[in-house]
Structure formats: C-alpha cells, structure tokens
Amino acid sequence: MYENGYGTPQNKEEAVKWFQKAETSFQKQGKSVMFSEEFYLGLMYEKGYGVMQDYTKAIKLFEKSAEVGYKPAQYRLARMYEKGLGVKQNYAEARKWYQKAAIEYCEEALARLKWLDENGY
C-alpha cells in the first residue's frame, strides 16, 4: 500500500521497511519467505525506490522468488542477465529464465526470447 500510495500517501522508504519486516519475520519462523515479498523487495532495490539502488541485492531476491516459480521474478531475473545488471551479462542464463517465465504465456518473455533468437543469442 505504501509502495503505490493506495489508501495512504506513497512512501517508498516505508514500503521497503515493511517488505523487510515480512522477510525477517518469515526467516525467524524458519519458513521460506513468501516469494511476492522477495519479488517486490527486489524491485525496490533494482529501481532504487526507498533504498540505495543495488542490483546485486535485487538479483538475490529475484532468484529466491524465481526458483519457486514466481513468473514475474523469472522475467525480471532474465532481464537482469540480459542487460548485465548486478551480474555478468549472460544471454544463455537470460534465455533459461525467459523460457521458464514463458511457460505460463508471459508475453513479454516470449517477445524477449524472439529477440534473442533474431539476434543470434
């Protein structure tokens, strides 16, 4: 709600605080963090919303979420590998994650796969 200003003034710093609390709470309970919190916290680090922009942290959070099958995280992770943001640029790794995201007919992932094919990656 803070991230987008729904029902409250938009406050990226407050959104990050709550995403981090959710992550910490699940970890203390010995549970896997809910992948949506990881994904959205990753977005905050990728974009620098409410925190210092940190592609490396974003990658780690996207990876956790992507590995449990969260399609938006798979797509964002693929984009990070394609662009070399927080990791060494790696088209094969980008393709792998786009393919996983495309399984559920993610149109953006399908478009990126087509681009990789057309450009010999």
Closest by CA to 74, choosing from 113, 47, 45, is 113
Domain locations in the chain as residue ranges? 12-118
pLDDT of res. 61: 93
pLDDT of res. 11: 77
Q: Please write the tens of the pLDDT for every residue from 7-30.
A: 778 877 777 776 666 655 555 455
In a 3-state reduction of DSSP, which class is residue 56?
helix
The Cβ of residue 74 has, within 10 Å, a number of other Cβ atoms equal to: 28
Closest by CA to 80, choosing from 62, 100, 106, 101, is 62
What string of DSSP letters covers 90-102? -HHHHHHHHHHHH
Closest by CA to 61, choosing from 49, 52, 70, is 70
* Annotation: CATH topology of 12-118: 1.25.40
User: What is the pLDDT of the chain when averaged over all its residues?
Assistant: 83
Q: Please write the tens of the pLDDT for every residue from 81-115.
A: 999 999 999 999 999 999 999 986 678 898 999 99
Q: Please write the tens of the pLDDT for every residue from 32-44.
A: 545 577 888 899 8
Is residue 31 over pLDDT 70?
no
pLDDT of res. 27: 53
